[in-house]
Amino acid sequence: MTEHKPLVWIPYPIHELAIKKLSHECEVVFGYGDALVPFDAVASRVEGILIRTGKVTAKQIVSAPRLKIIARHGVGVDSVDVDAATAAGVVVTNTPNSNLVSVAEHTIALLLALRRKLIASDRANQRGLGAESRPELVGRELQGSTLGLIGFGRIATALARIAIDGFGMKVSAYDPILSDEEIRQKGATPVSLQELLATSDAISLHVPLLPQTRHLIGANEFATMKQGAVIINTARGGIIDEEALLRSLNDSHLGGAALDVTEIEPLPAGHPFYSRTNVIITPHIGGQTEESLLRVALDAAECICQALRGETPATAVNAPTQLRLTAQPAA
């Protein structure tokens, strides 16, 4: 008699080593490529979903009576209906530690690009401008400047270490969840949001997108920021009021902005941000390195394996009162 293997559905490509890991314990079915199998075709049998992009809806969760786990390939779980999963006894997990180095390094790369005016320099060079363009391309050093971090979780903590140890920056942090002592222990100076805005030479955002953080940084906040300061968002689009950001840039109050995430992704062709040399837009690639994609995929695969063995993964983001972590009889 053939041993039953739990079925795992993967709707978007992930690292092949993670697929190999899952294949030892599971039947892996893909929702992409030549071997594409739609979710409806496996809903009655699927026990695990590993999602990198796209959504898992309440309708899908309800239609899958054997589903035990939805493992998110990444940090944010806004693409999963967590409430519906919780109600159905389905565990939802993420991989909070796997891409923090990549995002922190990407933030530093964006900060350096803004402060050394790399976009403007590149475009000047392509236009054939010579020494006459140099006065407009004078940059700023990071050493001795103040980096303000709004939100001081894992990624921001890694970023603070790089900024302090690697560049000699001063780091301030605002995080309403943490005490002042906890912020100090993690290497930053605790400040209020208003003080952070008024004293930072560069501001980096590291908060989730929630109703209370939508447009957290708007016209009043930009007006409070130092003349010539720069802002970086590698967290979630929508935290910044982009119309207010554009007005502040047009008024020459801000020195620049770098956005790895925007309210609409991708921004439409011809967007005013694209015409500015002091704005950098990257297509949500902060965590996209070879190293992090491998770690994220393997960690998500391990969550799947743990749940299908009847264990509760350590990175579960919900706590259903009745888990479907024991074997279900075949339909």
Of these residues, 116, 140, 154, 284, which one is catalytic? 284
236 as an active site residue: the answer is yes
Strands 146-150 and 46-51: unpaired
The CATH number fitting domain 7-98+290-308, selected from 3.40.50.10680, 3.40.50.720, 3.40.50.800, 3.10.180.10: 3.40.50.720
Please tell me the predicted confidence (pLDDT) of residue 331.
40
Backbone angles phi, psi at 183, to 5 degrees: -65, -45
73 as an active site residue: the answer is no
Instruction: Kindly indicate whether the domain formed by 100-281 is annotated with CATH number 2.10.70.10.
Output: no
**CATH 3.40.50.720 placement within the chain:** 7-98+290-308, 100-281
Of these residues, 16, 265, 291, 311, which one is catalytic? 265
284 as an active site residue: the answer is yes
Task: Kindly give the confidence (pLDDT) of every residue in the chain, 331 residues in length, as a single tens digit, with 9 standing for 90 and above.
Answer: 346 899 999 999 999 999 999 999 999 999 999 989 999 999 999 999 999 989 999 999 999 999 999 999 998 898 999 999 999 999 999 999 899 999 999 999 999 999 999 999 999 998 888 777 788 999 999 999 999 999 999 999 999 999 999 999 999 999 999 999 999 999 999 999 999 999 999 999 999 999 999 999 999 999 999 999 999 999 999 999 999 999 999 999 999 999 999 999 999 999 999 999 999 999 999 999 999 999 999 999 999 999 999 999 999 999 887 666 654 444 4
* pTM beyond cutoff 0.85: yes
User: How far, in Å, CA of 295 to CA of 17, rounded?
Assistant: 10
Closest to 6 (Cα-Cα) out of 47, 62, 34, 43: 47
For 109-127, what is the HEC assignment? Answer: HHHHHHHCCHHHHHHHHHC
Please tell me the predicted confidence (pLDDT) of residue 326.
54
- DSSP assignment of 46-99 equals EEEEEESSS-B-HHHHHT-TT--EEEESSS--TTB-HHHHHHTT-EEE--TTTT
Of these residues, 15, 52, 115, 236, which one is catalytic? 236
Sheet holding 279-281: strands in order across? 189-190, 170-174, 146-150, 202-205, 230-233, 256-259, 279-281
Q: What is the DSSP letter of 225?
A: S
Residue type, 32: Y
